[in-house]
Amino acid sequence: MFTFIDLFAGIGGIRIACEKNGGKCVFSSEWDQHAQKTYKENFGETPHGDITKIDEKEIPSHDFLNAGFPCQPFSTIGKREGFEHKTQGTLFFDVVRILKHHKTKMILLENVPGLITHDGGNTFTVIKDVLENDLGYKIFPKVINASDHGVPQERKRIYIVGFLKDKYGDNIEFNWPSADKKHKYINQFLEKHQSGYNISKHLQKSYLFKQDDGRPQIIDKNSEVKVKTLVSTYHKIQRLTGTFVRDGETGIRLLSENECKAIMGFPKDFKIPVSRTQMYRQFGNSVAVPVVEKIIHQILKTAAQYKKSH
Ligand SMILES: C[S@@+](CC[C@H](N)C(=O)[O-])C[C@H]1O[C@@H](n2cnc3c(N)ncnc32)[C@H](O)[C@@H]1O
């Protein structure tokens, strides 16, 4: 058993992955009331609100910190002056002050791959510098596509794994989970005759198929493919990035709730007590559970190995 905290918790995708690995959540934070509602319905607790207002001393001690934090530029003024200056006013600063106080042994940060090039590379450089030099972590960043790990969705995310060197030694090495040999495709998960997800004929003509450029991605029961990344604005009909289904009364519809669960690797019995718009937003902001579950498994295995030898 290990204890963890769930920061920027959303609807708890990372929490599911931790719990599947035997973790016990001792603190969660998420300020969006719709996400809080879904979280409460599934995990029985309402996450604490705005993390910037929470004193790190009030957070229980824990073995593992998870955070899929929003990425923001850092001021370049405080480059050599320690993390308070470097990260002031950003949500990463809140992650850092919690790590500094608790000396959390293991960390998993998750973000969009654009983090690497954000603000001309400065954001990622500061994150690495603060974690390694100011806080004493050995860190391992990697961009992984969830489609290699049990879901029929292209979803590339950067994962930053960190181990506190004081606990595990300077020589700790980390092996990322290997990709699945057998892949999953969307046709295994499509539902038939779903109503309520229709895209009107008018919208199809005026927007979705206005240009004959093969976009958006349209799928049906014969599509042995992976769907495109589910984005948080999917409900606004993202024709360039979206995936839509040949089905329903108007011929084309949005992905259903169950299909969203399947492409994100969420359990079938995960409850959605919010509107459809919020549902897409919440899944689009979340993580593909199976890949995170595997990464956490590897983190725990590595920690157990190096704790003994150190
Ligand atoms: C990319 S999402 C993370 C989703 C999560 N990993 C999941 O599985 O659902 C980032 C989340 O951070 C939340 N957030 C942003 N600023 C926050 C703050 N100051 N305090 C608490 N939560 C915040 C947003 O509402 C959003 O749900």
**CATH 3.40.50.150 domain range(s) in the chain:** 2-178+287-309
**Nearest CA, atom 26, ligand 1:** 10
Residue 280 near residue 225 (C-beta atoms within 8 A): no
Residue 67 CA to ligand 1 centre (angstroms): 8
pTM for the whole structure: 0.96
Residue 168 CA to ligand 1 centre (angstroms): 29
Q: What is the pLDDT along the chain (310 residues), one digit of tens a residue?
A: 999 999 999 999 999 999 999 999 999 999 999 999 999 999 999 999 999 999 999 999 999 999 998 877 777 655 566 777 777 778 999 999 999 999 999 999 999 999 999 888 888 999 999 999 999 999 999 999 999 999 999 999 999 999 999 999 999 999 999 999 999 999 999 998 788 899 999 999 999 998 888 899 999 999 999 999 999 999 998 888 899 999 999 999 999 999 999 999 999 999 999 999 999 999 999 999 999 999 999 999 999 999 865 5
Residue 90 has which token pair?
A: 């950003």
Choices 3.40.50.970, 3.20.10.10, 3.40.50.150, 3.30.420.10: CATH for 2-178+287-309? 3.40.50.150
**CATH 3.90.120.10 domain range(s) in the chain:** 186-285
Q: Which residue has the tokens 């955070």?
A: 67
Instruction: Determine the Cα–Cα distance for residues 180 and 198; give it in Å rounded to an integer.
Output: 34
Q: Which residue has the tokens 């399947």?
A: 262
CA 74 to chain centre: 22
Residue 69 CA to ligand 1 centre (angstroms): 6
Closest atom, ligand 1, to C-alpha of 29: 21
**Nearest CA, atom 27, ligand 1:** 10
> In which order are the strands placed within the sheet that holds 252-253?
217-219, 243-246, 252-253
Instruction: Determine the Cα–Cα distance for residues 298 and 292; give it in Å rounded to an integer.
Output: 10
Secondary structure (H, E, C), the chain: CEEEEEECCCCCHHHHHHHHCCEEEEEEECCCHHHHHHHHHHHCCCCECCHHHCCHHHCCCCCEEEECCCCCCCCCCCCCCCHHHHHCCCHHHHHHHHHHHHCCCEEEEEECHHHCCHHHHHHHHHHHHHHHHHCCEEEEEEEEEHHHCCCCECCEEEEEEEEEHHHHCCCCCCCCCCCCCCCCCHHHCCCCCCCCCECCHHHHHHHHCCCCCCCCEEECCCCCCCECCCCCCHHHCCCCCCEEEECCCCCEECCCHHHHHHHHCCCCCCCCCCCHHHHHHHHHHCCCHHHHHHHHHHHHHHHHHHHHHC
Ligand 1 touching residue 11 (CB < 6 A): yes
**Integer CA distances (angstroms), 141 to 110, 151, 298, in order:** 10, 21, 14
Catalytic positions are: 71
Beta strands 106-111 and 64-67 are parallel
Going by C-alpha positions, the residue among 95, 101, 31, 102 that lies closest to residue 66 is 95
Ligand 1 touching residue 287 (CB < 6 A): yes
Choices 3.30.43.10, 3.90.120.10, 3.30.70.1070, 3.40.50.1860: CATH for 186-285? 3.90.120.10
Amino acid symbol at 18: C
